[in-house]
């Protein structure tokens, strides 16, 4: 299997060009995740074809705004953070997850695939964004498959600096999630969220990215405790 040539029609659709070295890193990343997956449940996509479309291509099918620092909230097995780190080597990525075991695995995967522009954070997003070191301090925050948009906004937007972007990977229900989340994003300092990068992925359906630009600082009272965020999502 050649990642580069066998899946060329996918890569052609991406807004970024990849070198042979980058393809090699993505292939190493894939093999490392699949190997690790035998011990730790990181993904249900265990065949390469699924993995390439559902993880590698999906992570990269985004019109990345400008910005040097990127935080991936709830990175799990490293998505979308790790493939993005491969393709944007001049940026610095921080991969955050509440589960120490997952971050330990992602560290090993990054090591194996020789991805060096990454840092790691273990903890809950709603606690870490209260820390001055991280609050309002990233140019871009990404997140995939972590929570419904309203809840996710409270987990992610406090980390974004004014003028930066919060990008949420979503399925076909994205528009409904935006409506359901009401004013959550604007209460948290964001502009009205917009859907971009609409893609139909073979065997994975429609995937989109919800863009939200940060307009002003998040009010100090957010984020609330996770119990509150879940019980009474902002609207």
| Binding residues vs ligand SAH (CB under 6 A) | 74-77, 79, 96-99, 102, 124-126, 144-146, 155
Q: Which residue's CB is nearer to ligand SAH, number 70 or number 125?
A: 125
Residue 193: exposure state from Cβ atoms within 10 A (0-12, 13-18, ≥19) = buried
The one-character DSSP state at 190 is B
Q: Which residue's CB is nearer to ligand SAH, number 17 or number 232?
A: 232
Q: Which residue's CB is nearer to ligand SAH, number 19 or number 225?
A: 225
Among the listed residues 30, 152, 26, the one whose alpha carbon sits nearest the alpha carbon of residue 88 = 26
In the complex, least distance from residue 224 CB atom to ligand SAH, rounded to whole angstroms:
12
Q: Which residue's CB is nearer to ligand SAH, number 55 or number 214?
A: 55
Q: Report the residue closest to ligand SAH, judged by CB.
A: 76
Going from the C-alpha of 78 to that of each of 111, 135, 218, the distances in angstroms are: 12, 22, 27
In the complex, least distance from residue 30 CB atom to ligand SAH, rounded to whole angstroms:
13
Q: Which residue's CB is nearer to ligand SAH, number 170 or number 214?
A: 170
First to last CA, the chain: 48
Q: Which residue's CB is nearer to ligand SAH, number 122 or number 191?
A: 122
Sole residue written with tokens 């780190």: 85
In the complex, least distance from residue 146 CB atom to ligand SAH, rounded to whole angstroms:
4
Helix intervals (H) in 53-205: 58-60, 81-87, 100-112, 125-128, 149-156, 174-180, 184-187
Sole residue written with tokens 């809840």: 151
In the complex, least distance from residue 132 CB atom to ligand SAH, rounded to whole angstroms:
18
In the complex, least distance from residue 13 CB atom to ligand SAH, rounded to whole angstroms:
20
In the complex, least distance from residue 20 CB atom to ligand SAH, rounded to whole angstroms:
26
Q: How many CA atoms lie within 13 A of 52 on its CB side?
A: 18
What is the chain's Cα-based Rg?
Answer: 17
């Amino acid at each position: 299997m050649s990642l580069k040539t066998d899946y060329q029609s996918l890569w052609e659709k991406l807004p970024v060009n990849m070198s042979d070295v980058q393809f090699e890193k993505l292939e190493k990343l894939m093999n490392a995740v699949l190997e690790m997956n035998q011990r730790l449940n990181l993904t249900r996509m265990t065949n390469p074809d699924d993995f390439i479309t559902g993880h590698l291509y999906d992570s990269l099918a985004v019109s990345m705004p400008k910005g040097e620092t990127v935080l991936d909230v709830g990175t799990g097995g490293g998505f979308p953070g790790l493939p993005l780190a491969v393709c944007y080597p001049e940026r610095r990525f921080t991969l955050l997850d509440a589960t120490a075991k997952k971050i330990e695995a992602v560290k090993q995967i990054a090591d194996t695939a020789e991805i060096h522009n990454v840092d790691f954070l273990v903890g809950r997003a709603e606690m870490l964004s209260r820390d001055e070191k991280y609050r309002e301090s990233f140019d871009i925050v990404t997140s995939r498959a972590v929570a419904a948009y309203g809840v996710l906004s409270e987990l992610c937007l406090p980390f974004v600096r004014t003028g930066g972007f919060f990008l949420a990977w979503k399925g076909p229900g994205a528009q409904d999630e935006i409506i359901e989340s009401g004013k959550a994003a604007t209460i948290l300092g964001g502009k009205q969220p917009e859907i971009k990068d609409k893609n139909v992925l073979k065997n994975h359906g429609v995937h989109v990215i919800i863009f939200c630009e940060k307009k002003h600082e998040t009010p100090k009272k957010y984020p609330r405790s996770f119990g509150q965020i879940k019980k009474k999502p902002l609207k």
